[in-house]
């Protein structure tokens, strides 16, 4: 008979379990959890990354100092680090957030040093944007209903694109995990935004004209498993949350996805499969639905309006005090 104080054991090796994978029913020890994450991510890298026959590629891995991108870089280096046809670069955008970005940037730099990967960084002022701490003050003054993250997300995307161009990247890898992906699918659904659903990474089979393709090898790994993997591997990661993140719409979606998953285990996988299915049906039927993106007349980045979102937001926040 088992007592309530018995530690559940791993299904595979009977060692004490550290994780209950509710959606599969499995109990896992640290070794078998890392094994499972490793296999899932390696399979996703093989599926999403196309290395041209006889050619070479450069991958920019967007890193932040947090657990997701640390695991992503660790896995990409493990899978491709010895391949002479692949160049891996870690790139981090410095948004200018006092007390948060500096230590996380250091973790990102340390990770690259540990893995023997070139490290690149760019700051908002270098990109012509004001630092986020200053932007937050100005957003409050403008009575704008948009949260700091709405601005920051747009600016950071430009930062990653800038780094990708700087290093001549053919592919950009992002550390979005299964929870992130499910939240995005839900947000797009709520907004009735089919185009964004169709543009969801990975872009392996649906290249977007004028855009460096994105891959997301952690997309089938839940956030908790990514975190446990990072701890098991002892990767240098920064744990604090950004002070400006509160109030972001994504937090509401995070709660909703977590609730759905706890009510119906497997919901996150279902949401992602649903988006994949829409993409695949679109590919077979109606490839011309999306208007081709145009270049922003101010900065040259891709945009769907008259000027791009980043230029529009930059304009609304006023000029950069340091420029």
Of positions 178, 185, 308, 313, contacts Zn ion by CB under 5 A: 308
Q: Decide if 323 contacts 316 (C-beta within 8 A).
A: no
Of positions 18, 19, 21, 32, contacts Zn ion by CB under 5 A: 32
Q: Give DSSP secondary structure letters for 231-272.
A: HHHT-----PPPTT-TT-HHHHHHHHHHHHHHHSTTHHHHHH
Does the protein bind Zn ion through residue 154 (CB under 5 A)? no
Q: Which two tokens stand for residue 167?
A: 């290093």
Does the protein bind Zn ion through residue 302 (CB under 5 A)? no
Q: Which conformational region is residue 31 in: left (phi greater than 0), alpha (psi within -120 to 50 degrees), or beta?
A: alpha
Nearer to ligand SF4, 125 or 270 (CB): 125
Does the protein bind Zn ion through residue 10 (CB under 5 A)? yes
Does the protein bind ligand SF4 through residue 95 (CB under 6 A)? yes
Q: Which two tokens stand for residue 257?
A: 């996805």
Binding mask of the shown chain, residues 148 to 167, with x at each position contacting ligand SF4 by CB under 6 A: xx--xx--------------
Stretch that binds Zn ion, among 28-36, 46-54, 61-69, 263-271 (CB under 5 A): 28-36
Nearer to ligand SF4, 18 or 242 (CB): 242
Give the burial class of 228: count Cβ atoms within 10 A of its Cβ; 0-12 exposed, 13-18 middle, 19 or more buried: buried
SS3 275: helix
Shortest CB 244 distance to ligand SF4, Å: 4
- The helix-helix angle for 67-80 and 30-48 (nearest 10°) equals 70
SS3 163: helix
Of residues 125, 244, 254, 134, the one with CA closest to residue 185: 254
Does the protein bind Zn ion through residue 227 (CB under 5 A)? no
Stretch that binds ligand SF4, among 65-73, 214-222, 238-246, 289-297 (CB under 6 A): 238-246
Does the protein bind ligand SF4 through residue 242 (CB under 6 A)? yes
Q: Decide if 147 contacts 247 (C-beta within 8 A).
A: yes
Of positions 18, 71, 127, 132, contacts ligand SF4 by CB under 6 A: 132
- Residues 54-73 binding ligand SF4 (CB under 6 A) are none
Shortest CB 166 distance to Zn ion, Å: 18
Q: Which two tokens stand for residue 35?
A: 């094994």
The footprint of ligand SF4 (CB under 6 A) covers 95, 132, 148-149, 152-153, 242, 244-245, 248
The footprint of Zn ion (CB under 5 A) covers 10, 12-13, 15, 29, 32, 296, 298-299, 301, 308, 311
């Amino acid at each position: 008979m088992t007592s309530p104080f018995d530690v559940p054991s791993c299904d595979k090796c009977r060692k004490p379990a550290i994780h209950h994978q509710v959606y599969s029913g499995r109990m896992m020890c640290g070794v078998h959890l890392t094994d499972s994450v490793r296999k899932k991510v390696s399979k996703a890298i093989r599926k999403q990354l196309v290395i041209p026959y006889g050619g070479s590629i450069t991958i920019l891995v967007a890193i932040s100092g947090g657990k997701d991108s640390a695991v992503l870089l660790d896995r990409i280096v493990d899978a491709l680090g010895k391949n002479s046809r692949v160049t891996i670069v870690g790139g981090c955008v410095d948004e200018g957030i006092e007390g948060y970005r500096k230590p996380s940037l250091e973790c990102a730099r340390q990770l690259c040093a540990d893995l023997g990967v070139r490290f690149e960084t760019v700051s908002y002022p270098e990109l012509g944007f004001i630092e986020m701490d200053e932007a937050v003050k100005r957003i409050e003054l403008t009575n704008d209903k948009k949260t700091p993250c709405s601005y920051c997300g747009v600016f950071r995307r430009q930062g990653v694109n800038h780094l990708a161009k700087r290093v001549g990247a053919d592919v950009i890898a992002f550390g979005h995990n299964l929870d992130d992906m499910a939240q995005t699918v839900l947000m797009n659904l709520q907004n009735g935004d089919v185009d964004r659903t169709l543009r969801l990474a990975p872009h392996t089979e649906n290249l977007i004209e004028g855009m460096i393709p994105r891959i997301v090898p952690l997309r089938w790994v839940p956030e908790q498993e990514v975190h446990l993997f990072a701890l098991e591997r002892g990767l240098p990661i920064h744990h604090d949350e950004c002070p400006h993140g509160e109030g972001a719409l994504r937090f509401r979606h995070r709660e909703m996805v977590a609730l759905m998953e706890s009510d119906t285990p497997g919901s996150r996988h279902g949401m992602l499969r649903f988006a994949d299915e829409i993409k695949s049906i679109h590919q077979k039927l109606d490839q011309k639905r999306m208007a081709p993106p145009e270049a922003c007349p101010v900065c040259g980045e891709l945009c769907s309006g008259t000027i791009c979102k980043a230029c529009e937001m930059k304009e609304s926040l006023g000029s950069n005090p340091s420029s």
